[in-house]
Amino acid sequence: MSISGKSIAACFRRRGRLTLPVALAAIALTIPVASAAAATGPQVIATAAVGGGPLAVDVNPLTNTIYVVNSGDNTVSVINGGTNAVTTTIPVGAAPHGVAADVVNNTIYVANVLSNTVSVINGGTNAVTATIPVGGNPASVAVNELFDAIYVTNFADDSVSVINALTNHVTATIPIGTTVSGVVADPLTGAVYVALPAANAVAMINGLTNHVTATIPAGNAPFEVAINSATNTIYASNNGDSTVTVIDAFTNHVTATVAVGFSPFGVAANSVTGNVYVANIAADTVSVINGRTNQVTATVPTGIRPFGMAVNTLTGRAYVSNSVDNTVQVIALPGRTATGRERGRIRQAHPPPLLGQVVEGDRARRVNRRAGRPVDVESLSG
């Protein structure tokens, strides 16, 4: 039995809506497969076998390490970006769904749907160092490096948990009032953006006050969001109508709607090249969008049911998890990789702590200068 995007969105609007695992299973496994378009431009250059049911994927560009959560066997696979090989597998909570890497502290956060927890992993040792209770069915997680805060969307509670990254304690719970899904934080302004699939919108949270300050209309059932921090642009993948909504974060206005493959889910933006990558779960493809023209420039065939999407801005490679194949594929992308100057900007935006060095002084200075207002990427050197 097939399930349309319209009926999926309707499931979330009903009072007795589906639980997160059931809803995601419906999206990932029962939508009829469309024929993949012939790929042009970028190509899959490597495939890594991971655990069962891989979903979200994220990258630490400074260590060139990829993390993918395996919902079927309650683990995280760690992939070396240089060799494209899995180097270790880390046990976490039940049904992990979301993952985010804190580039500053080399720490990884995993949202465990059925455990109602977040696992904290030391990126240097690959050991779980803490398990943090959060709300019901945590679906996605994002790192707000500007305020040392972790944001977790609680699918069952219609809320967002805020975790202090220094203490690993929940410091606030933000009521949203509707279903929440993907979340992303702007590393320069500290603003947080949350996908609202039942409301067909994206919520903006002030990272300093933890209050919702705007609700921006999107397409049908946006499940994931991504940000290009260089242009201050938000991208929301609309699973229900196979589009991506482009939002100007300076004005909170929609500037474009881009048609992509069937039932898009994971989305990632490369702040260096401007390209945006969208995993189309029912088409078994990745759409590549030119961030300047908002046109699809390439379609890359993938494995079965591509779900999560991530980009390494330093190497220019993209990573997509295939939830049925139990693989992660590496896509070589068109366009240039980061120049030396751009690499310096990225590292200044995510300063790694050095031996005995405390980055709080620089962080406080950036908070005073940038909190709550857009910042030109050229100002990162100051």
Residue 173: count of CB within 10 angstroms of its CB? 15
CA dist list (Å): 259 to 14, 272, 288, 344 = 27, 23, 11, 34
Q: What is the pTM of this model?
A: 0.81
What is the C-alpha separation between 194 and 202, in angstroms, rounded?
5
Kindly report the average pLDDT of the chain as a whole number: 83
Closest CA to 100 of 12, 224, 279: 224
Sorted by sequence, the CB contacts under 8 Å of residue 314 that are 6+ apart come out as 61, 62, 64, 337, 338, 343, 346
Given phi > 0 = left and psi -120 to 50 = alpha, else beta, which region is 343?
Answer: alpha
For 58-84, how does the pLDDT look when each residue is reduced to its tens digit (9 = 90+)? 999 999 999 999 999 999 999 999 999
- Output the pLDDT for position 363: 40
**Could you give the percent of the chain with pLDDT greater than 90?**
75
Mean local confidence (pLDDT), 239-255: 97
Q: Tell which residue, 316, 283, 319, 318, has the closest CA to residue 301.
A: 283
Helix, strand, coil proportions of the chain in percent (round to 5)?
Answer: 10, 45, 40
Query: Domain residue spans in the chain?
Result: 43-332
pLDDT on residue 334: 52
pLDDT (mean) for 147-154 = 97
C-alpha distances in Å from residue 130, one per residue of 86, 117, 133, 155, 169: 23, 10, 10, 22, 10
Banded pLDDT at 357 (limits 50, 70, 90): very low
CATH number for the domain formed by residue range(s) 43-332: 2.130.10.10
